[in-house]
């Protein structure tokens, strides 16, 4: 069941902020088709009585009490930041808003 | 903004169109820690002093849900008459924006923890309007951006932005209404009343202080118009982050007038987000709304499902406090006041202070009198909220007690309150420092009276001779000597008694 078009790959690439060359769009469209096809085979065996699974372990309600734990220091938090200013993460101009 | 927006009058808009609203309210929970990590949520910390590998989205960090966050979500859901999911998951809402270092916000998508509820809200005239609730779901707040280089901190024209992630990960509950239809011209009022009722409810539950001015509660107003009598909704606009009750009402009103102008001139409404401007009460275009699927939601693999047991849910339901609407009508009856009086108390923000003052021992009438009189005036003059005045309900109760035991009269009590507000100390300290006390001590009064008689022999003679009216001059002398702190009626009695004259 082929279905992924070049346009859809381009759309996904844009959402993921990936810059793809035209030939890559075709390449990934084919690959994504294969992947979706493989996953679709699962639906063929899964019936109404099989609940959708997003977690491999049969666990629920793993929670922690509302107790404060030590945070990183601002220096530690910022240690991998490419740029910083006024003890804050410095990021380039934000476009496409407002 | 230099461009002006075409508007039609509110009355004309409502003559041709029916408004449909959808309100999305974000409430920041008052938990001690963030939703998925143990970082503190306390305000006022140094920038980036409350972050960790989880809320910074560092590789390999694993989130764990805050149990109190889930409990608060269930409580809110129950108070909103919602069904509580037996099983639900978190989802990743993917987007690229530096306010979330993970590049996604952990939220809930098609499996909210609470859904299908309602909230009854009371309008100014007492009419009750039922707002249907679509869902309430758990998510996390984003970091705080500061835009540098542009005008007045706006993104537009900024050269770069600075991010503080202390707020990133603080628990949020997003509460979404179903479309609110049929409110007609009262739609803006319904919007305001809904947000107010929700705020009272959140506070009553004790899950957040829900202070809108501090961003602990924020409202997005979705609004569309359809021709009168139509059933198909029009295209909506979404006015983001409207952060006061008054603004909620104004934003809805403005959008009704703007939509009507566009539609009646044959135009179409663009589905977009809009920004509300507090100063002008207007909205301006933001960005064209992304489609829901653009966020590429998928179940959060790092968090296991939340499955609130029915026993736990019922336990929480049994522990819910009396809800605000019910409580208000009970208090109104207990205090024996009219609906209008109650509304005035609510509008003044005096309900909680009055209740707290009564709890501290004052009777209802004097608690109401001080908060709605002297203190409301003081708050008004200083432009602060009643509960931000520098006087506690306990102190107001103490003033009321001093009045009822007779050591202060109303005039002196006002001076005591003035002193407390001015930071002079507790009511008793102000009484001492300013020497404010009704002189009811007979000995002291008698001495003052004797002194006045001795100092004014001519007047005393007149009174002895039967001119009772002359007593006023001696009363005046005593009041002056006691700096207004004597009980004038008792002084007069004493003078007449001493001089052997009887009240004519």
Question: In B176-232, which residue ranges form alpha helices assigned H by DSSP?
Answer: 187-205
To probe the interface with B, which of A12, A32, A58, A71 has the most B CB atoms within 10 Å?
A: A71
Pick from A31-35, B154-158, B481-485: least confident: B154-158
Phi-psi region of B35 (alpha: psi -120 to 50; beta: other; left: phi over 0): alpha
Pick from A56-70, B187-201, B416-430, B445-459: least confident: B445-459
Read off the pLDDT of each residue in B154-165 and give the average, rounded to a whole number. Answer: 84
Statement: residue B266 has pLDDT above 70: yes
Distance to chain B for A27, nearest Cα, Å? 22
**Of B35, B332, B329, B319, which Cα lies nearest the Cα of B170?**
B35
% of chain B beyond a pLDDT of 70? 96
Residue B140 CA, chain-centre distance (Å), reads 22
Query: Which residues fall within 8 angstroms of residue A46, CB to CB, at 6 or more apart?
Result: none
pTM of the model: 0.79
Ranges of CATH 1.10.10 domains, chain B: 442-498
Element (DSSP H or E) covering residue B397: helix B393-404
Element (DSSP H or E) covering residue B120: strand B114-122
Q: How many residues does chain B have?
A: 504
Read off the pLDDT of each residue in B430-453 and give the average, rounded to a whole number. Answer: 82
Contact by Cβ (8 Å): B272, B237: yes
pLDDT in tens, B86-138: 999 999 999 888 999 999 999 999 999 999 999 999 888 878 999 999 999 99
Q: Which of A65, A72, A97 sits opposite B52 (nearest CB)?
A: A72
With respect to residue A43, please indicate whether it lies within any of the assigned structural domains.
yes
Residues from chain B contacting residue A55 (CB–CB below 8 Å): 299, 301, 304-305
- What is the band of B291 on the pLDDT scale with cuts at 50, 70, 90? low
Interface of B with A in 164-203 (CB under 8 A): 164-165
pLDDT at B440: 64
Element (DSSP H or E) covering residue B239: strand B237-242
pLDDT at B1: 43
pLDDT in tens, B312-339: 999 999 999 999 988 998 999 999 998 8
Pick from A44-48, B53-57, B60-64: least confident: A44-48
Read off the pLDDT of each residue in B255-283 and give the average, rounded to a whole number. Answer: 93
Coil, helix or strand at residue B342: helix
Structure tokens belonging to residue B24: 């999305």
Where are the strands (E) in A29-81, listed by range? 63-64
Statement: residue A46 has pLDDT above 90: no
- What is the band of B56 on the pLDDT scale with cuts at 50, 70, 90? very high
Distance to chain B for A66, nearest Cα, Å? 6
Contact by Cβ (8 Å): B124, B189: yes
Q: Which of B38, B47, B301 sits opposite A67 (nearest CB)?
A: B38
pLDDT in tens, B22-36: 999 999 999 999 999
Q: Between B53 and B460, whose confidence is greater?
A: B53
Q: Could you tell me whether strands B272-277 and B237-242 are parallel, antiparallel, or unpaired per DSSP bridges? A: parallel
Query: Which residues fall within 8 angstroms of residue B182, CB to CB, at 6 or more apart?
Result: B18
Q: What is the value of ipTM here, to two decimals?
A: 0.87
Q: What is the CATH number of the domain that holds A31?
A: 1.10.20.60
pLDDT at B48: 98
pLDDT at B377: 93
Please check whether residue B260 touches A, CB under 8 A: no
pLDDT at A1: 47
- What is the band of A2 on the pLDDT scale with cuts at 50, 70, 90? low
Statement: residue B206 has pLDDT above 80: yes
Statement: residue B69 has pLDDT above 90: yes
CB-defined contacts A:B, below 8 A: 136
Distance to chain B for A10, nearest Cα, Å? 13
With respect to residue A44, please indicate whether it lies within any of the assigned structural domains.
yes
Cβ atoms within 10 Å of B309's Cβ, excluding its own: 11
Residues from chain B contacting residue A82 (CB–CB below 8 Å): none
Please check whether residue B5 touches A, CB under 8 A: no
CA dist., res. B449 & res. B475, Å (int): 8
Most confident stretch, A7-16, B58-67, B122-131, B278-287:
B58-67
Q: Could you tell me whether strands B83-84 and B114-122 are parallel, antiparallel, or unpaired per DSSP bridges? A: antiparallel
Please check whether residue A78 touches B, CB under 8 A: yes
Q: Could you tell me whether strands B114-122 and B128-140 are parallel, antiparallel, or unpaired per DSSP bridges? A: antiparallel
**CATH among 3.30.70, 1.10.10, 1.10.3470, 3.30.450 for B442-498:** 1.10.10
Q: Could you tell me whether strands B237-242 and B83-84 are parallel, antiparallel, or unpaired per DSSP bridges? A: unpaired
Structure tokens belonging to residue B14: 């409502």
Coil, helix or strand at residue B237: strand
Statement: residue B405 has pLDDT above 90: no
With respect to residue A89, please indicate whether it lies within any of the assigned structural domains.
no
- What is the band of B494 on the pLDDT scale with cuts at 50, 70, 90? confident
Statement: residue B439 has pLDDT above 80: no
DSSP B68-99: HHHHHHHHHHHHTT-EE-SSB--EEEE---TT
- What is the band of B152 on the pLDDT scale with cuts at 50, 70, 90? low
Residues from chain A contacting residue B165 (CB–CB below 8 Å): 77, 89
Pick from B28-42, B51-65, B172-186, B268-282: least confident: B268-282
Contact by Cβ (8 Å): B39, B168: no
Pick from B89-93, B192-196, B207-211, B401-405: least confident: B401-405
pLDDT at B489: 77
- What is the band of B392 on the pLDDT scale with cuts at 50, 70, 90? very high
CA dist., res. B252 & res. B232, Å (int): 20
Read off the pLDDT of each residue in B357-376 and give the average, rounded to a whole number. Answer: 94
Cβ atoms within 10 Å of B270's Cβ, excluding its own: 12
pLDDT at B293: 57
Structure tokens belonging to residue B41: 């949520």
Would the CB atoms of A71 and B39 count as touching at under 8 Å?
A: yes
Range of the domain at A27: 1-48
pLDDT at A45: 83
pLDDT at B96: 83
CA dist., res. B281 & res. B161, Å (int): 27
Mean pLDDT of chain A: 88
Q: Which of A61, A87, A94 sits opposite B98 (nearest CB)?
A: A94
**Of B336, B337, B366, which Cα lies nearest the Cα of B354?**
B366
Statement: residue B194 has pLDDT above 90: yes
pLDDT at B130: 97
Statement: residue B254 has pLDDT above 60: yes
CA dist., res. B223 & res. B260, Å (int): 11
Domain count within chain A: 1
Structure tokens belonging to residue B492: 């007069």
**Of B168, B108, B116, B114, which Cα lies nearest the Cα of B139?**
B108
Please check whether residue A90 touches B, CB under 8 A: yes
CA dist., res. B504 & res. B501, Å (int): 9
Please check whether residue B92 touches A, CB under 8 A: no
Mean pLDDT of chain B: 91
% of chain B beyond a pLDDT of 90? 68
**Of B74, B326, B75, which Cα lies nearest the Cα of B197?**
B326
């Amino acid at each position: 069941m082929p279905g992924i078009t070049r346009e859809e790959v381009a759309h996904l690439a844009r959402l993921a902020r990936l810059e793809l060359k035209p030939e890559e769009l075709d390449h990934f469209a084919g690959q994504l088709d294969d992947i979706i096809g493989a996953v679709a085979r699962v639906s063929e065996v899964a019936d109404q009585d099989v609940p959708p699974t997003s977690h491999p372990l049969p666990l629920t309600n793993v929670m922690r009490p509302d107790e404060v734990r030590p945070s990183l220091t601002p220096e530690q938090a910022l240690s991998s930041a490419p740029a910083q200013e006024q003890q804050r993460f410095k990021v380039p101009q934000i476009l496409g808003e407002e | 903004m230099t461009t002006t927006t075409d508007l039609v009058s509110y009355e004309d808009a409502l003559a041709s169109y029916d408004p449909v609203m959808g309100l999305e309210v974000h409430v920041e929970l008052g938990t001690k820690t963030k939703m998925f990590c143990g970082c503190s949520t306390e305000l006022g910390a140094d920038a980036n002093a409350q972050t960790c590998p989880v809320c910074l989205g560092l590789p390999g960090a694993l989130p764990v849900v805050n149990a109190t966050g889930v409990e608060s979500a269930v409580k809110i859901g129950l108070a909103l008459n919602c069904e509580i999911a037996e099983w639900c998951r978190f989802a990743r809402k993917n987007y690229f924006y530096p306010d979330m270092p993970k590049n996604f916000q952990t939220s809930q998508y098609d499996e909210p923890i609470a859904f299908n509820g309602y909230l009854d809200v009371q309008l100014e005239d007492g009419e009750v309007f039922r707002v249907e609730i679509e869902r309430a779901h758990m998510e996390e707040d984003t970091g705080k951006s500061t835009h540098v280089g542009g005008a007045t901190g706006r993104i537009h024209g900024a050269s770069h932005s600075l991010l503080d992630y202390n707020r990133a990960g603080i628990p949020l509950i997003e509460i979404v209404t179903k479309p609110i239809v049929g409110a007609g011209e009262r739609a803006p009022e319904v919007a305001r009343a809904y947000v107010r009722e929700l705020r009272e409810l959140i506070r009553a539950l004790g899950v957040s202080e829900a202070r809108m001015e501090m961003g602990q509660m924020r409202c997005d107003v979705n609004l569309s118009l359809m021709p009168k009598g139509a059933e198909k909704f029009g295209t909506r606009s979404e006015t983001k982050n409207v952060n006061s009750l008054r603004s909620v009402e104004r934003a809805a009103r403005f959008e009704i007038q703007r939509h009507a102008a566009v539609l009646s001139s044959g135009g179409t409404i663009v589905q977009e987000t809009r920004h509300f401007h507090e100063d002008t009460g207007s909205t301006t275009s933001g960005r064209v709304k992304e489609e829901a699927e653009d966020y590429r939601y998928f179940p959060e693999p790092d968090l296991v499902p939340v499955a609130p047991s029915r026993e736990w849910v019922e336990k929480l339901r049994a522990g819910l406090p009396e809800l605000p609407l019910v409580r208000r009508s009970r208090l109104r009856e207990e205090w024996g006041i009219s609906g209008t009086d109650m509304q005035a108390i609510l509008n003044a923000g005096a309900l909680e202070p009055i209740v707290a003052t009564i709890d501290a021992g004052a009777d209802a009438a004097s608690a109401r009198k001080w908060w709605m009189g002297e203190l409301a005036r003081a708050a008004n003059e200083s432009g602060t909220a009643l509960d931000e005045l520098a006087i506690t309900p306990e102190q107001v109760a103490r003033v009321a007690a001093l009045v009822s035991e007779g050591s202060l009269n109303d005039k002196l009590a006002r001076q005591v309150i003035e002193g407390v507000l001015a930071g002079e100390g507790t009511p008793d300290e102000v009484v001492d420092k300013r020497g404010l006390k009704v002189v009811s001590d007979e000995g002291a009064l008698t001495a003052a009276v004797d002194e006045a008689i001795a100092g004014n022999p001519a007047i005393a003679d007149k009174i002895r001779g039967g001119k009772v009216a002359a007593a006023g001059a001696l009363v005046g002398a005593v009041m002056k000597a006691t700096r207004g702190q004597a009980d004038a009626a008792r002084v007069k009695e004493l003078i007449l008694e001493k001089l052997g004259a009887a009240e004519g």
